[in-house]
């Protein structure tokens, strides 16, 4: 897959079949659409393109909107890599861009930049300044400019929207198994390991504190989870706490993971942690000893769960 951070840098002259959207989560509903796109490119001997925008239009147009996304932009790229897609164009969404008229948008983006032959698009897709053009308008631009428009049915679009809503809700509820079922892969958190209070090692459970710079990343419900992570090409299982560490009077929310059967220095390392299963709520214990006991039980639970996977 080739990656472009601006449609203007797309210089490939092979005609394209394009689909346009945010594809947050790149879940099984999105994958069906992308499969159709890739198939259509193959059948017609042209190249497939997903055109997506970043930041999310709502981050730009309603700056106060506290939008949370299932994937960071880098995670989205990583998941799309595996779909067989030829090209991913992530065009910067700016206020200026949002003011392009529908005609300017079609000409500059679809025709001039992408050399479009075919577009696969949701029945309810809107585009151009104030989103005032629809799929019928796109079809007439197509007749004038020699490209065809293929509609994704209401049913398929509804399925996509339902899945996204279910995934967000499941993550908010801590129901990782449900989220992962709809995603078709394990929900992940990606970030850098930073220093904490250095209490973990005293509890005999050193915990890597994950810092996620993307404020828009959706973080699941507070609590304790079974997780896994590939670090330097080796798979580690572990247990994660998302919370404020009330027992030790923590204030800020942290994301901390203890990996089993491992001893390494992870500071400043970028890691990606896949979440597998929720264990329990975070609690305020009366003493550090009680917390330690709870962590031992979490470890037992996690190990049993991990063994049940194989």
Ligand X SMILES: Nc1ncnc2c1ncn2[C@@H]1O[C@H](COP(=O)(O)OP(=O)(O)O)[C@@H](O)[C@H]1O
Chain residues binding ligand FMN by CB under 6 A are 196-200, 203, 205, 207, 209, 224, 239, 241, 245-248, 256, 258, 282-284, 291, 294-295, 298
Please check whether residue 244 is in contact with residue 224, taking contact to mean a CB–CB distance below 8 angstroms. Answer: no
Helix (H, G, I), strand (E, B) or coil at 29: helix
- Shortest Å, Cβ 75 to ligand X: 22
Q: Give the residue at shortest CB distance from ligand FMN.
A: 196
- Shortest Å, Cβ 262 to ligand FMN: 13
**199 φ, ψ (degrees, to nearest 5):** -90, -30
- Taking the least distance from each CB to ligand X, the nearer of 127 and 236 is 236
- Determine the Cα–Cα distance for residues 146 and 139; give it in Å rounded to an integer: 10
Please check whether residue 149 is in contact with residue 138, taking contact to mean a CB–CB distance below 8 angstroms. Answer: yes
Both tokens of 230, joined, read 């590939």
- Shortest Å, Cβ 261 to ligand X: 8
Residues that bind ligand X (CB under 6 A): 193, 195-201, 206-209, 258-259, 262-267
Q: How far is CA 80 from CA 36, 48, 145, 181, 187, in A?
A: 14, 12, 29, 18, 14
- Shortest Å, Cβ 281 to ligand FMN: 7
- Shortest Å, Cβ 21 to ligand X: 37
- Taking the least distance from each CB to ligand X, the nearer of 115 and 207 is 207
Instruction: Tell me the CA end-to-end span of the chain in Å, nearest whole number.
Output: 32
- Taking the least distance from each CB to ligand X, the nearer of 43 and 265 is 265
- Taking the least distance from each CB to ligand FMN, the nearer of 4 and 259 is 259
- Shortest Å, Cβ 198 to ligand FMN: 5
- Determine the Cα–Cα distance for residues 79 and 186; give it in Å rounded to an integer: 11
- Determine the Cα–Cα distance for residues 72 and 56; give it in Å rounded to an integer: 11
Residue 239 partner contact from ligand FMN, ligand X, none using kind-dependent CB cut-offs of 5 to 8 Å? ligand FMN
Helix (H, G, I), strand (E, B) or coil at 149: strand
Residue 274 partner contact from ligand X, ligand FMN, none using kind-dependent CB cut-offs of 5 to 8 Å? none
- Taking the least distance from each CB to ligand FMN, the nearer of 184 and 200 is 200
What residues have CB less than 8 Å from 143, skipping those under 6 apart? Answer: none
Both tokens of 29, joined, read 């509903």
Residue 193 partner contact from ligand FMN, ligand X, none using kind-dependent CB cut-offs of 5 to 8 Å? ligand X
Both tokens of 161, joined, read 């929207």
- Shortest Å, Cβ 292 to ligand FMN: 9
Residue 211 partner contact from ligand X, ligand FMN, none using kind-dependent CB cut-offs of 5 to 8 Å? none
Please check whether residue 224 is in contact with residue 298, taking contact to mean a CB–CB distance below 8 angstroms. Answer: yes
- Taking the least distance from each CB to ligand X, the nearer of 159 and 299 is 299
Please check whether residue 261 is in contact with residue 210, taking contact to mean a CB–CB distance below 8 angstroms. Answer: no
Please check whether residue 63 is in contact with residue 94, taking contact to mean a CB–CB distance below 8 angstroms. Answer: no
- Taking the least distance from each CB to ligand FMN, the nearer of 233 and 287 is 287
Q: Give the residue at shortest CB distance from ligand X.
A: 200
Is the peptide bond prior to 284 cis by the omega test (within 30 degrees of 0)? no
Residue 245 partner contact from ligand X, ligand FMN, none using kind-dependent CB cut-offs of 5 to 8 Å? ligand FMN
- Shortest Å, Cβ 139 to ligand FMN: 55
- Taking the least distance from each CB to ligand FMN, the nearer of 75 and 282 is 282
């Amino acid at each position: 897959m080739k990656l472009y951070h601006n449609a203007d840098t797309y210089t490939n002259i092979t005609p394209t079949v394009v689909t346009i959207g945010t594809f947050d989560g790149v879940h099984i509903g999105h994958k069906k659409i992308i499969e159709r796109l890739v198939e259509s490119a193959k059948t017609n001997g042209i190249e497939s393109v997903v055109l997506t925008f970043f930041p999310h239009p709502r981050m730009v147009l309603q700056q106060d909107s506290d939008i949370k996304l299932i994937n960071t932009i880098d995670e989205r790229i990583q998941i799309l890599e595996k779909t067989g897609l030829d090209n991913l164009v992530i065009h910067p969404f700016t206020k200026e861009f949002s003011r392009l008229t529908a005609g300017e948008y079609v000409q500059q983006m679809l025709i001039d930049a992408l050399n479009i032959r075919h577009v696969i698009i949701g029945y309810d897709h809107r585009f151009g300044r104030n989103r005032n053009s629809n799929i019928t308008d796109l079809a007439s631009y197509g007749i004038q400019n020699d490209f065809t428009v293929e509609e994704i049915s209401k049913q398929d679009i509804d399925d996509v929207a339902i899945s996204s809503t279910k995934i967000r809700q499941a993550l908010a509820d801590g129901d990782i198994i449900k989220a992962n079922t709809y995603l078709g892969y394990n929900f992940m958190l990606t970030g850098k390991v930073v220093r904490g209070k250095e209490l973990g090692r005293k509890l005999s459970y050193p915990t890597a504190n994950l810092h996620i710079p993307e404020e828009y990343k959706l973080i699941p419900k507070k609590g304790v989870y079974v997780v896994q992570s590939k670090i330097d090409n080796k798979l580690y299982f572990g247990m994660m706490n998302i919370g404020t560490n009330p027992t030790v009077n923590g204030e800020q929310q942290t994301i901390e993971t203890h990996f089993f059967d491992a001893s390494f220095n992870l500071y400043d390392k970028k890691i990606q942690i896949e979440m597998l299963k929720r264990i329990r709520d975070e609690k305020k214990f009366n003493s550090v000893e009680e917390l330690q006991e709870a962590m031992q039980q979490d470890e037992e639970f996690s190990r049993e769960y991990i063994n049940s996977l194989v």
